[in-house]
Structure 1
């Protein structure tokens, strides 16, 4: 059973997903690295299906605070956990879809430039924990 999400819930899901990509992209220094990583992740988010695709690909882009990485992390990680809780309550069939879209997006972002560095691996682990996905031990740090 899928229950309609309200605007605030949709915003939470979208902010969390895009924020997760930002956290991983920000872990690799440089504007061009961040741009290329964000582009790599966008395909995964757009490739979601069903309700998750609708939420992630329609409406305005979320606004993340212009703050330190720690402050963005303090906003994004709880939002990821809250997003999964919202879907479990209102659209349980979409939980796996959301988790897969977010994890695929952050993994693609991390691998887009020179493989996964230690800071990116740390960000990946935090994102995966927040969405309730066991971290992949095969992710190698460079």
Structure 2
């Protein structure tokens, strides 16, 4: 299946996906945020289909500004919802692929220390809710 995405669409998808991992890493600031980020990023780079191609692109268009977890969440959670809305309109199968890819990456990030901490479990819930809000 071919899907036509604008550069802005692709930027939104990358910001949403990598932003979810950044949120997980920021939520684990007292633990091992570098491991959280590494495991989550590896999972995103393993994506397939059109989403895999978008996430694998080497660009500098990922916007993850924020000086706190709250500021980052204010940007990333709406981007997750926007990404799902966009994909549901243009390619419903890719919407499922994107959702699954992000959730697998979030789970990989959360399990770097065995079972997820309460903070990571709560951030996972918020990310899932943002994905499902579309």
Q: TM-score if structure 2 supplies the norm length? A: 0.90
Q: Which structure 1 residue ranges, 4+ long, deviate > 3 Å from structure 2?
A: none
Give the drift of 1:114: 4.7
Gap regions ≥5 residues in structure 1: 134-142
Could you tell me which residue of structure 1 aligns to residue 39 of structure 2?
40
CA shift, 1:21, in A, is 0.7
SS in 2 for 1:29: coil
For 1:3 and 1:55, the matched residues in 2 are separated by 11
| 1:2–1:90 CA contact under 8 A, matched in 2 | no
* Two-structure CA RMSD over aligned residues (Å): 1.7
User: How far 1:71 sits from its partner (Å)?
Assistant: 0.8
Give the unaligned 5+ runs of structure 2: none
Cα distance in 2 for partners of 1:55, 1:47 equals 12
Which residue pairs with 2:19 in the alignment?
Answer: 19
> Contact 1:2 / 1:92 at 8 angstroms: preserved in 2?
no
Deviation at 1:63, TM superposition (A): 3.1
Q: 1:77 maps to what in 2?
A: 77
TM-score (ref. length: structure 1): 0.86
Q: Distance in 1 between matches of 2:93 and 2:2?
A: 8
